[in-house]
Amino acid sequence: MYYITKKNGMCYIMEGNPRGPYLNMHKEIWAIKSERCLAFSVSDGDLFYFMDESFIVYKLARNENDRQLNVIQELTFKEMQTLDFIPHPYEQVTINDKYILQGNKIFYLYDIENNEPFNEGIFEAEDLLPEDRTKPKSNLTKGPIMINNSTKFFNIYQIEKFHSILRIF
């Protein structure tokens, strides 16, 4: 079992056995100077994602020698999307290397060190729409793969950058 504690301006990721009756047997596996934890997620038991109050997502992995965590990568999303990211206490937030799912929105992440943010309007955030199962399926959603839609669409085609040629035989 993993959980977050906060003490004296520090956030700690703790690990403990839920069947163990003693709290002193729970171990601190990572600490960061942060006033708040906005989101925390564990993927496959090996990868941990922690978001601090400045909207930086720390991707953490286990050290080979002990159970402590090491920072592998620092991710974030565009600053203008921070106003839309409003996590509620105990709300389920899913985080991985590419995106964050929170409520009915998806926020796209980029690497702070190696990449610059995406161009304006591309991979910022989108509203996720639940599929209405009472309506008949359209031709586009029939088949083994479900396709959900979004209310936003971004045109990535740039005028005068690409040329199309039509050939008639």
pLDDT of residue 33: 94
CA distances to 7, 82, 107 from 31, in Å: 10, 23, 25
Contacts of 39-44 with C-beta under 8 Å, sequence gap 24+, read 39/87, 39/93, 39/95, 39/100, 39/102, 40/2, 40/4, 40/13, 40/93, 41/93, 41/94, 41/95, 41/96, 42/2, 43/95, 43/96
pLDDT of residue 49: 93
pLDDT of residue 18: 74
Q: What is the pTM of this model?
A: 0.70
pLDDT of residue 118: 66
pLDDT of residue 19: 77
Per-residue pLDDT of the chain (169 residues; tens, 9 = 90+): 888 889 999 999 998 887 777 777 888 899 999 998 889 999 887 899 999 999 999 999 998 888 899 999 999 888 878 878 888 887 888 888 888 888 888 888 888 887 776 666 666 777 877 777 787 766 554 545 555 555 554 444 455 555 555 555 5
pLDDT of residue 20: 73
Q: Residue 7: name the closest of 29, 24, 32, 26 by CA.
A: 32
Q: Domain locations in the chain?
A: 2-141
pLDDT of residue 3: 87
Give the pair of three-digit tokens for residue 72. 């592998």
Query: What backbone torsions phi and psi does residue 80 show, to the nearest 5 degrees?
Result: -70, -20
pLDDT of residue 58: 94
